[in-house]
Amino acid sequence: MKLDVDALRYLSKEDFRVLTAVEMGMRNHEIVPAELVERIAGLKHGGTYKVLRNLLKHRLVHHDSSKYDGYRLTYLGYDFLAIKALVNRGVFSSVGRQIGVGKESDIFEVATEDGTILAMKLHRLGRVSFRAVKSKRDYLLHRRSYNWLYLSRLAALKEFAFMKALGEHEFPVPRAVDCNRHCVVMSLVQGYPLVQVKQLQNPDEVFERIIGLIVRLAEHGLIHCDFNEFNIMIDDEEKVTMIDFPQMVSVSHRNAQMYFDRDTDCIFKFFNKRFHLSFHHDKDGCDDSGSDLEDGRPSFWSIEKSAGFLDKELAASGFTRKEQDEIEKKVSEDNILAICIT
Ligand code: ADP
Ligand code: MG
């Protein structure tokens, strides 16, 4: 999605006031009645309607008059609110080119006042699912509440909290800089996603390092759940950085072993296919990192896991157990959807 931030410069205080009013109204309305927007914004002389027309022109809100005269935020409107808040806080001062389009996110370079380039990830939960949901109306009926705004914000909060906690435990992750709404700002990782790397000097070492990360995460009570060649970055020194954490789960999750094995499997398959590494049964059942192996793979059950990490450290970053449960539910709903539509 193109992010044209030029309009940001031309938007007035009133524009942002009304945009924020629409956002507030969306806490309990999918489409916010125009009168409610007016009441929340509290602009004098009925100025709200004029402002709404301007926001509509810039595609920051969507107008819906099917049931009543109302508005909702668009992704772009939500982007503007987050960007404005982060710029006001001095986190960055300009937005540059797009560097990644993920399954459920858009990633841009941003620059700070002193010229440092950072990465900004805008979460777009619901983008994939909306399409899926359209063809699965029945499923939607059973869904409690469907709110992309809330889910995208939750995903960003979770990603930020994990990135921070993992960084503090010296996992190779981007440095977590700040977070607002559905937007996470982090350091820019040098290098390329593993999927783009055609050759490595030391594929064995890189492989060991990556498997070692999966094991160490489990020791800390965590499973990445999307650990694959798209979410591992490699630089020129073949240093590994892992990214993309909104779907991580605890080792106490009921499907923990399945997720752990799936992550491990992805890496084994990729290294076998791309770098022709072959794996054989290890007689004494141990690898260099000391974990037991089953057919050359780390076994989930033989890892000593500490399950308290999630609760203690993440709660400290403002990410609660309740939110963790909600987003885990969303992850499994997505898995159900994926099964439904394939
Ligand atoms: P998604 O959850 O949508 O898959 P990711 O976090 O995996 O999003 O990011 C998508 C792509 O954006 C990555 O594959 C990578 O190329 C790029 N990217 C993400 N974060 C960074 C970063 N901090 N530095 C550099 N590139 C990044
Ligand atoms: Mg990704």
Q: What are 22-71's pLDDT values in tens digits?
A: 999 998 898 999 999 999 999 987 799 999 999 999 999 999 999 999 99
- Domain membership of residue 83 (yes or no) is no
Residue whose CA lies nearest to ligand 1 atom number 3? 102
Name the residue range of residue 178's domain: 90-187
Q: Ligand 1: which of 243, 245, 248, 334 to mutate, most ligand atoms within 8 Å of CB?
A: 243
334 and 214 within one domain: yes
Q: Residue 57's domain is classified under what CATH number?
A: 1.10.10.10
302 and 208 within one domain: yes
Whole-number average pLDDT of the chain: 85
Domain boundary among 76, 107, 133: 76
328 and 227 within one domain: yes
Distance 228 CA to ligand 2 centre (A): 8
304 and 230 within one domain: yes
- Domain membership of residue 85 (yes or no) is no
228 and 157 within one domain: no
What tokens appear for 26 in the block? 């969306």
Domain boundary among 44, 76, 108: 76
Q: What is the reported pLDDT for 148?
A: 80
Q: Which residues line ligand 1 (CB under 6 A)?
A: 99-100, 102-105, 107, 119, 121, 174, 186, 188-189, 193, 230-231, 243-244
- Domain membership of residue 208 (yes or no) is yes
Q: Ligand 1: which of 75, 101, 107 to mutate, most ligand atoms within 8 Å of CB?
A: 107
- Domain membership of residue 1 (yes or no) is no
Distance 241 CA to ligand 2 centre (A): 12
Residue whose CA lies nearest to ligand 1 atom number 9? 102
The residue with greater pLDDT, 85 or 7, is 85
- Domain membership of residue 84 (yes or no) is no
Q: What are 238-257's pLDDT values in tens digits?
A: 999 999 998 888 888 889 99
19 and 97 within one domain: no
Q: What is the reported pLDDT for 333?
A: 62
Q: Residue 115's domain is classified under what CATH number?
A: 3.30.200.20
State the SS3 of the chain.
CCCCCHHHHHCCHHHHHHHHHHHHHCCCCCCEEHHHHHHHHCCHHHHHHHHHHHHHHCCCEEEECCCCCEEEECHHHHHHHHHHHHHHCCCCCEEEEEEEECCCEEEEEEECCCCCEEEEEEECCCHHHHHHHHCCHHHHHCCCCCCHHHHHHHHHHHHHHHHHHHHHCCCCCCCEEEEECCEEEEECCCCEEHHHCCCCCCHHHHHHHHHHHHHHHHHCCEECCCCCCCCEEECCCCCEEECCCCCCEECCCCCHHHHHHHHHHHHHHHHHHHHCCCCCCCCCCECCCCCEEECCEECHHHCCCCCCHHHHHHHHCCCCHHHHHHHHHHHHHHHHHHHHHC
- Domain membership of residue 81 (yes or no) is no
The residue with greater pLDDT, 103 or 34, is 34
Distance 229 CA to ligand 1 centre (A): 11
Closest ligand to Cα 100: 1
310 and 225 within one domain: yes
What tokens appear for 292 in the block? 């037991």
336 and 218 within one domain: yes
Is 226 tagged catalytic?
A: yes
> Looking at the predicted structure, is the pLDDT value of residue 308 above 80?
no
Could you tell me if the ipTM is greater than 0.90?
A: yes
Catalytic one of 15, 79, 226, 244: 226
Closest ligand to Cα 195: 1
Counted domains in the chain: 3
Distance 195 CA to ligand 2 centre (A): 11
- Tell me the whole-structure pTM to 2 decimals: 0.87
Q: What is the reported pLDDT for 4?
A: 73
> Looking at the predicted structure, is the pLDDT value of residue 125 above 90?
no
Rg (CA), the chain: 22
Domain boundary among 128, 153, 187: 187
Distance 190 CA to ligand 1 centre (A): 11
Closest-lying ligand 1 atom to the alpha carbon of residue 230: 14
> Looking at the predicted structure, is the pLDDT value of residue 139 above 60?
no
- Domain membership of residue 205 (yes or no) is yes
333 and 196 within one domain: yes
Q: Residue 249's domain is classified under what CATH number?
A: 1.10.510.10
42 and 28 within one domain: yes
Closest-lying ligand 1 atom to the alpha carbon of residue 186: 23
Q: What are 220-232's pLDDT values in tens digits?
A: 999 999 999 999 9
- Domain membership of residue 82 (yes or no) is no
290 and 203 within one domain: yes
Q: What is the reported pLDDT for 65?
A: 94
337 and 201 within one domain: yes
State the SS3 of 57-98.
HCCCEEEECCCCCEEEECHHHHHHHHHHHHHHCCCCCEEEEE
